[in-house]
Structure 1
Amino acid sequence: MTNDPETSESEYDGPSKSQVKREMHALLDLGKQLVDLSADRLKQLPLSEKLLDSIRLAQRINSREGRRRQIHYVGKLMREADADAIRHQLDVWENGSREEAAAMHQLEAQRDLLLQDDHALTELLAEYPQADVQHLRALIRAGRKEQEANKNLQPGQAPKRKHYRALYQELKTLQQTNP
């Protein structure tokens, strides 16, 4: 056997044994997360029928060793599943979608602008011509009154936010009907 660097590099045909073990452990951990999910959440994931049945069985097993073995079997079946799609969906459930959070912050900023500036309503109506102008004006007026009333609250009193929230919901509805 020669120690020629060119032949040793050409013999390499894949990830190291350690890398393969790390990937298998990651799939096992993902399988453990799936076993802890509710049935409704499991239905929303792209899982094969065999994998889904194995997860449900692991959820029913009470014996510590039996459950451990079943979770390892789930980890083995995870090799054939789309782990990236499953991880992404779990991340969305755990942390919320970044896009959803950004859209929510945009709506909140738009609501605050409507409560501060009359010209913002004109801009909103230009963007959403189908919007109910009278309803929006009523919500803005009531929201402004609510803000003024909240400025005069005694310490310990909860601020009123009924119209503040209603305006947000109206903006959200407008955005959903006209993406």
Structure 2
Amino acid sequence: MTEDFDFIHDEMDDNEGEEYLSRSEKKRRSTARQKIGEDLARMPITAVRSFGLPSALVAAFEEFHKYSKHEAKRRQMQFIGRMLREVDTAELEARLSDYHAGRASATADFQHLERLRDALMNEQEGALDEMLETYPSADVQYVRQLVRNGRKEIAAGKPSKTARTLFRYLRDIEEQ
């Protein structure tokens, strides 16, 4: 009879190193992993590969992108969520936030250049001065020529090729 109690005490000693998690906490963690998986699934597969995930997990994401049916995608997401249990999600969350911050910054830069190009093309007052103040190394004569040609194209009702050229020029200056 005492042998039975010894077994229970030995089992309790084995579980001392483990942290007790309530059922609700387990569900919260599972849902968080599922959301990380969904966030990764919305990205292009090339971006997912750049995160340094295990090859089996990358293959699961590649498989996910092949499916078109909702139910198949849902099952694959659950599978990915289970596989994410083996991955350090804290590091993965940090990488995801860096990725999203970089994309947001790139989008903001792109929109700023579009607004500047549109202001130049629409003859907004002070647009050229703003551009020269922001980018002092810009070739003013070339920018004026592009703006003049772009306005002629717009007046003629043609698609403005020079507006795209002006945008590329502004982007190149921004990168320098």
The TM-score with structure 2 as length reference comes to 0.59
Q: Work out the percentage of aligned pairs sharing the same amino acid.
A: 29
Listed as ranges, the matches of 1:158-177 within 5 Å are: 159-177=158-176
Q: 1:101 to 1:144 in 2, by over 3 A?
A: same
Residue 148 (structure 1) aligned to one of 150, 155, 167: 155
SS in 1 for 2:136: coil
Q: Tell me, yes or no, if structure 1 residue 120 matches structure 2 residue 119.
A: no
> Please, which moves more after superposition, 140-149 or 71-80?
71-80
Q: CA deviation at 1:75?
A: 2.8
CA distance in 1, matches of 2:97, 2:106: 14
One-letter code of the match for 1:107?
L
How far off its partner does 1:132 sit?
2.1
Q: Partners of 2:168 and 2:29 in 1: how far apart? A: 44
The whole-number CA distance in structure 1 between the counterparts of 2:104 and 2:65 is 31
Task: Find the residue that maps to 1:160 and give its secondary structure.
Answer: coil
Residue 111 of structure 2 is matched in structure 1 by 105
Checking the alignment, whether the CA contact within 8 Å between 1:54 and 1:74 is kept in structure 2 is yes
Partner of 1:44: 50
Where does the alignment leave 5 or more consecutive residues of structure 1 unmatched?
A: 1-12, 151-158
Q: Is the 8 A contact 1:51 1:74 kept in 2?
A: yes
Alignment partners' CA distance in 1, 2:21 and 2:140: 62
Q: CA deviation at 1:139?
A: 0.6
Q: What are the residue-to-residue correspondences of 1:10-159 with 2, within 5 Å?
A: 16-28=22-34, 30-31=36-37, 39-48=45-54, 51-52=57-58, 74-79=80-85, 80-82=87-89, 83-85=92-94, 87-88=96-97, 97-115=103-121, 116-117=123-124, 119-150=126-157, 159=158
C-alpha offsets along residues 145-169 of structure 1, whole Å, 9 cap, x if unaligned?
A: 122223xxxxxxxx51211121112
- Alpha-carbon distance in 1 for matches of 2:20, 2:113: 49
SS at match of 1:97: helix
TM-align CA RMSD: 4.0
Partner in structure 1 of residue 15 of structure 2: none
TM-score normalised by length of structure 1 = 0.59
> Partners in 1 of 2:52 and 2:97 — Cα distance?
11
Q: Deviation at 1:124? A: 2.0
Distance 1:123 1:58 in 2: 47
Give yes or no for contact 1:48–1:81 (8 Å, CA) kept in 2.
no
Q: Give the whole-Å Cα distance in 1 for the aligned partners of 2:55 and 2:46.
A: 15
Q: Give the distance between the partners of 2:167 and 2:150, measured in 1 at CA.
A: 10
Q: Which moved more, 1:16-25 or 1:167-176?
A: 16-25
**Structure with larger RCO (C-alpha < 8 A, sep 6+):** 1
